[in-house]
Each structure stands twice: as C-alpha cells, then as structure tokens.
Amino acid sequence: MIAVRVSLIQKINATFDLSWRLFTHTVGAKYRKSFLGYFWMVAPAIFITLGVTLANRAGILSAGKTLLPYPLFVLLGTLLWQVFAEAVDVAHRAFDGARSYITRVYFSRSAIILVQFYESLVTTLVRCTLVLLLLELFHGLELYGICLIILCFIGSLLLGLGIGAILMPFTLLFADLHNTIKLVLNYGLFLTPAMYEPKGDSFFATVIRCNPVSPLMQSAREAAANVSMSQPLVLTGVLAAAVLTTILGFALVRLVAPIIIERMLLGGK
Amino acid sequence: MAQSDVCVSVEKVSKKFARSLKRSFVYGARDIGRALLARGESDELRSSEFWAVRGVSFELRRGHSIGIVGLNGSGKTTLLRMVSGILKPTLGRIQVHGRIAPMLALGAGFKPVLSGRENIYLNLSLLGVAERDIRARYDSIVDFAELSESINAPIGTYSSGMLARLGFACAVHTDPSILIVDEVLSVGDAKFRVKCRNRMNEMRRAGTSMLLVSHSSILIETLSDECLFMRRGKAMMLGNPREVLKAYEEDGLQQAVGRNAVKSIALAERELALDTTLGIRAVTICTKGANDAGYWLCGHPGEIVVSLQCAKLVEDVSVNLIISDLTHQPGETVLFMMSSRDLGWLRLAPGNDEVHLLLPQVGLRPGTYRIKISVSQGGMHDILDVADDIRLVVRDAGLATNCLYYQSRDWAVKGGEVSGVQQISDEADFEDSEEF
C-alpha cells in the first residue's frame, strides 16, 4: 500500500514539475502576438463598469444604496464573476488546445490543465491588483480587507476550475453542452449581485443569492468597506467547496482522460 | 532475471471502437460512468462497435526488436498507441518498463509562434526529459537537425522538412529504452534519412528495443528479430521474420484470390438486363505457368483475361483498366490503360468474346492492387459495363528490391566480361521457378 502511495506522490510531483516547465517555456507565446497583453485582461470589466455607472448616474439604472461607491461595487463584482467564468473553461480549453499532440504522446494529462491554470492565476492576480489599487486610491483599505479580497478571488478561481474540470469530460464529448455552458457563463453576470444587491424575496433575488459566487462577492465588498462579514459560514462553505471540487475535478480527469482522448482520435485531428 | 529483461509485455489485449461517431460519444459518456463506479469494460460488443484489436499477446525483450505487419486496418497503429499509453486496452494488460520514444509523435507540442530553441525545450519536456539533460543535449540536437542558422527563428517560418528534422532530432535525443516506429520515416533529404537510419542502428546496438510497423518486407527482415502478423485485429503469427513474412504474403494472396472468386461468381451469375448489349462475365489473372493464379510476379510476364458476353455485334468498343495501389499509397492510381489508345476500336461478335491484356514484364512493385475494368463505347466512352474491386497481388521475384517499380533493362560490358553467377536475392522462393 505504501509503495502505491509513494508512486502517486511521485506522479503528482512529476505533474507539477512538467506543468511548471511547460508554462515557463510557453509564457512568451501568448504575448508575442498582442501588444497590450495586460490591458485585455481588465478591459471588458472596465467597460462594463463604465457603462453601468453612466446609466446609474443618469438615473436609468438604480441599484439603491451600495456598500461601496457604485463603480467600485460593480468592478469588484464583475471581475470576480469573470475570474470564475473563465476558470470554468480552463480544463476544456486545455484539452481542446492540445488535440494535436495529446493523441500521439503519453504524458501526465493534468499537467496541461495546470498550465492553463497558471495563466488564469496570472490574469486573476492582475485583476485583483487593479481592484486593490483602485480601492486603496478611492476608498481606503485595511490589511484585513486586502487579504480577504485576495482570498475571494482565489476562491472564485478554484471554484470555477473545479466545476470546469468535472464538466470537461462531458463538454468535450457533447458540443451542445459546451455551448450551453458558455452561454450561461457569458450572460450569467446578470444572475449575480455584480451590479445590484439582492433585495427582497422575489424569485430573482433568491436565484442571485443562491449563486455560488454571490457569497464571494458579498464578502469581498464587505471587506473592502471594512464592514463585518454577514455570511462568514457561507463563505467558509464556498471556499471549502472550491478546494474540494478542484481536487475531485482533477481526480476525475485522471480517471477518464483515456476515454476522452480516444474520442478525440475519432473526431479528427 | 528473466522478468526484468522484458521491457514491454502485452497480455491478451483487446480494444473495441464504435463505428458511428455519435454512438461513440454516447458510449464515451457511459464508459465514464462505469469508470466512476469502478466497473470494468464488458466483453460484449454494443451496437456499431467492433474489435480493432483482439486477444493479442507478445513480449519485447531488452535490446530486441519486433516488426509488425498487416494490411491497413489490421489494428497495428491501435496496438502501438496502447503500448505508448495513449489508449487504454478494453481487455487485457500492458506493462511497459522504461521510457518510450514514440516516433508517432514527431514535433508534439510544437508552437509555431515560438522559436526552434524554445520548442526543443517544450517538446523534450513533454517527452519526459529532465531540464538539465535538455540543456546538455541542446547543441547535439541542433547539430543533428542541421538547423544552427534558423534555430532562433519561429518555427512557423520553417519548411515541413525542417520541422520534421527538428522533431526527429528531438525524438532521438530522449534516450529511450523503447523506440516505436510507425512506417518508414521519410523525412528530409537522402543524406538526412541515412543519418536517421544510422542513429537508429546505433541506438539498437546500444540496447534500445524497437517496435516497428512497416509495409516494407525488406525493412522488417533486416531490422527485426521477430515479426508479428496481424489481420483484422488478431495476431495471426509471431516468429521468425522470414517465415512470418512469407505467411503474410501467402495470406494476402489467399485473401485476394478468395475475394476474386466471390466476385467472379457474382459476375458470372449476374442477370443481364434485356436491353444490355454487353456484359463482363469473368476476369482472370494469369501468370506464366499458372492460369487463374490470381497474382503476378514482378518483372515477369502477367496477363489479364476479360471474358465478355455480347448480345449482338458491338462496334467501337474500348476495354479500360484502372489499377490502384492498396499497400503503399492506398487509393493512388498507378496504371490507366485503354485498349482504344493502344490498339484501336474493337468490334465484338455476338456470343462469348475474350480480351487479353499481356504485360511482357510486370512493372508494378510487390504489393496488393485493386483493378477496375470498364468497357466503353464510342469517342465519348459511354460505359457499357463495369467490374470493380478486383484484387491483384504482385509477388516479389527479387527483381525490384528497393525500387518504386520494375524497369526492364539490359546490361552491356565493353572490354570486360561477365564472370560470376547471377545473384538473385533469395526472395525469389517459390515452387514455379523451374517452369521458367
């Protein structure tokens, strides 16, 4: 039994080692093609924030009294959702992008997912840094606030990664499923408290509250506003779920990778 | 110890696939469910499934090499993929001890936007080589690939030959214990190919084992210690290369003759419609000394006899043949002959007629071919009848070794004379030789 465990640990080590090497060797590739690399990571959220804020100022869109100045409120929420939404696609993108060689060489499959994860991590940190900078500039932040906000971003990333990894075998097999999920992720922003607080008992408000990213947004905002947490237990639950789904997701990928790769062979190069 | 001497052990391995793409995906989802519930795969075939590999077993010992032969679709590549770890067997077990360098994956992971240098690191990392080893071997790789000038340019700018050279250079520097070679590597120019062959021989001498898949009997005979013949996923024979190759050829011939026999019966028994002018009744393949042999000998005379049945007098007839390759370049048309061009228009009497096509020296190289015969009429070639998918086996008589085709030739010597005996390679090993 011990021998088996050692071998699993060795495999995990090898996976991390390979993923790190692949990442460092390809880091240049993405940004060689675009000049404004970092800009694209935050531009969409900024534009959404600008648009919604203008609408708010003009009295068209009213969200009532919010914890933070409205633009910061929206930016924080939108970025947290984007981190989650992009993380869900990571596992699928990793396998899809490796189609040409995953069917011809054997290597630890999880490694390529980890490579995409590192890229997402970089993107997340950039977004997080932007938010922290703006919050500090326009509002003021405590150390506790900074830590909690970073925690919420990481939690959002891991939650998305885990869910994406669990869904990945099926989204690779059924394009319809993949398209549906992409649709939900694109417009799911409206089903979150990114732009408004969930008030009242209407069905819509309940849906927003039940969204797993909502506690993360809520807690991040409360931390930024230096207000005590209203949902500490729920937050802990969501963070724990994030870690659990990530571990489960990777285990699932390891288990079923050969089945998927076989279909990739059939589906053409 | 005998056990540690074995680097690849394949035990009763089987693999099934689904023919229909949609079904394959549905079964994929179900298989994922089964894997989660830790239930193994079943021995039964679901609808649209077939066995690509069935009950194959063999062992590859350190320093040895096994050649695998079989027609396209016999399961060779699937077997290699399973040994490489890319596919999981449905049934049976595969154990591999040592690093595999699959030549099926030259250039795996290459990103066009990155430079040759960066791609070397990328490719070798994927193939499992440690970072410091890549650094140590880097210069040797670039030298071998002959790319020292362009190694820092993005590989998107490389020609296909350069890409292949880089891929191959990386693969041979992975220091593998097992080489898997699928089909003859035809990368680069002749000089580079020689380099590759020499390198592979060096590795073999140093104790690297090899699994080789090729259509070339010569390569298999010279490079492998044992040969495995596969047909429709099953291992038909495993043993001495010469014997197995002979059995493979015989089997190929039997298959072809068997198919043709079925075809002949179908042709002969066909009910011709009332208004048909002409029908093909039989197609016979003859070689000297054996009528209806079903095969030709490369370099020797070969004949096709097309038997026709005519309802009435037919004018301006042309008998046309298309011969396409099944072994080397499947689907490629190799010969296209029309009697109207070579001979002139035919006038056929009512009743049974025969058209003989004699090739004084068969130029086709050894392999299996597919013949399509059509009988047409007039300058616009209105088709009167067609006989398709007739198999032709061309057997080796030692005259076209290493050739793309057989070329008839004559030698003459001035100021010298022929002293020795003709050295025909022993591939010319068949019973009919006395009759020539």
- Give the DSSP letter string of B116-154: HHHHHHHHHHHTT--HHHHHHHHHHHHHHHT-TTTTTSB
Q: What is the pLDDT of residue B286?
A: 87
The answer to whether the beta carbons of residues B392 and B297 sit under 8 Å apart is no
DSSP letter at A223 equals H
Report angle CA A252, A217, A160 to the nearest 5 degrees.
15
Task: Determine the pLDDT at residue B426.
Answer: 46
Q: Which residues on neighbouring strands pair with residue B321, listed in sequence order?
A: B337, B373
Q: Classify B343 as helix, strand or coil.
A: coil
Specify whether the CB–CB gap between A73 and A221 falls below 8 A.
Answer: yes
Phi, psi of A201 (to 5 degrees): -115, 15
Contact B108 A101 (CB under 8 A): yes
| Partner-chain contact B109 A252, CB within 8 Å | no
What is the pLDDT at residue B200? 81
Adjacent-strand bridge partners of B306: B283, B355
Residues of B with CB under 8 A from a CB of A: 17, 21, 24-25, 28-29, 31-32, 35-36, 81, 84-88, 100, 102, 104-105, 108-109, 111, 113-114, 118, 121-122, 125-128, 131
Kindly list the residues from chain B whose CB atom is less than 8 angstroms away from the CB atom of residue A260: 28
SS3 category, A116: helix
Amino acid at B358: L
Look-up: residue for tokens 């070679």?
A: B181
Record the tokens describing residue B21, joined without a space: 């793409």
Q: What pLDDT is stored for residue B19 in this prediction? A: 83
Q: Do A101 and B126 touch (CB under 8 A)?
A: yes
Rg (CA), chain A: 20
Distances (CA, A) of B281 to A38, B271, B309, B313, B374: 75, 11, 6, 17, 12
- Specify whether the CB–CB gap between B136 and B216 falls below 8 A: no
Q: Which of B109, B113, B127 sits opposite A32 (nearest CB)?
A: B113
Distances from the Cα of B186 to the Cα of B146, B161, B181, B337, angstroms: 16, 10, 12, 30
Q: Count CA atoms within 13 Å of residue A10 on its CB side.
A: 6
Alpha carbon distance B99, B89 (integer Å): 19
What pLDDT is stored for residue A92 in this prediction? 93
Q: Cβ(B160)–Cβ(B186) under 8 Å?
A: no
Q: Tell me whether residues A104 and B109 touch, CB distance under 8 A.
A: no
**Residue B326, pLDDT score:** 81
CA separation for the pair B337, B352 (Å, rounded)? 23
Could you tell me how many residues make up chain B?
A: 436
B126 with A28: Cβ contact below 8 A: no
Determine whether B407 is exposed, middle or buried from the number of CB atoms within 10 Å of its CB (0-12, 13-18, 19+): exposed
pLDDT at A5 (0 to 100): 58
- pLDDT score, position A210: 81
List strand residue ranges (DSSP E) for B222-313, in order: 226-231, 234-239, 278-287, 295-297, 302-310
Write down the pLDDT at residue A241. 93
| DSSP reduced 3-state for B351 | strand
Which regions of chain A are under pLDDT 50? Answer: 1, 268-269
Q: What is the pLDDT of residue B1?
A: 43
For residue A259, the chain B residue with the least C-alpha distance is B28
Q: pLDDT tens digits for chain B (436 residues)?
A: 445 588 899 999 999 888 888 888 888 888 888 888 877 777 788 888 889 999 999 999 988 999 998 877 788 888 988 998 888 888 899 999 888 877 766 778 888 888 899 899 999 988 888 889 999 999 999 999 989 999 999 999 998 888 888 888 888 888 888 888 876 555 567 777 788 878 888 888 888 898 988 777 777 888 889 999 998 889 988 999 989 988 888 888 888 888 888 888 888 877 767 677 888 888 888 887 777 778 898 889 999 999 998 888 989 999 999 999 887 777 789 999 999 999 999 999 998 999 999 999 999 988 889 999 999 999 898 998 999 888 888 888 878 777 788 998 888 889 888 887 776 554 444 333 333 2
> How far apart are alpha carbons B2 and A38 in whole angstroms?
59
Phi-psi region of B100 (alpha: psi -120 to 50; beta: other; left: phi over 0): beta
A contacts of B131 (beta carbons < 8 Å)? 21
- Contact assessment for residue B347 and residue B314, using Cβ atoms and an 8 Å cutoff: yes
pLDDT for the residue B68: 92
Q: Which residues of B touch A173 (CB under 8 A)?
A: 25, 28-29
What is the arrangement of strands in the sheet containing B351-359, beginning at the earlier edge strand? B278-287, B302-310, B351-359
A105–B113: do the CB atoms touch at under 8 Å?
A: no
| Cβ neighbours of B81 in A, within 8 Å | 265
Contact B208, B137 (CB under 8 A): no
**Residue in chain B nearest A166 by alpha carbon:** B32
pLDDT at res. B341: 92
Quote the pTM value. 0.75
DSSP string, B72-99: TTSSHHHHHHHHHTSS--SEEEEEE-S-
Q: How many CB pairs under 8 A join A and B?
A: 95
ipTM: 0.79
Q: Which helix (H) or strand (E) holds B46?
A: none
Partners of residue A174 in chain B, C-beta under 8 Å: 25, 29
DSSP-assigned letter for residue B288? T
Say which DSSP state B41 is in: P
Q: What's the confidence (pLDDT) of residue B430?
A: 39
The C-alpha atoms of residue A121 and residue A129 are separated, in whole angstroms, by 12
For residue A86, report the phi and psi dihedrals to the nearest 5 degrees: -70, -30
φ, ψ (nearest 5 deg) of residue A253: -60, -45
Tell me the C-alpha to C-alpha distance, in Å, between residue B345 and each of B311, B314, B376.
18, 10, 10
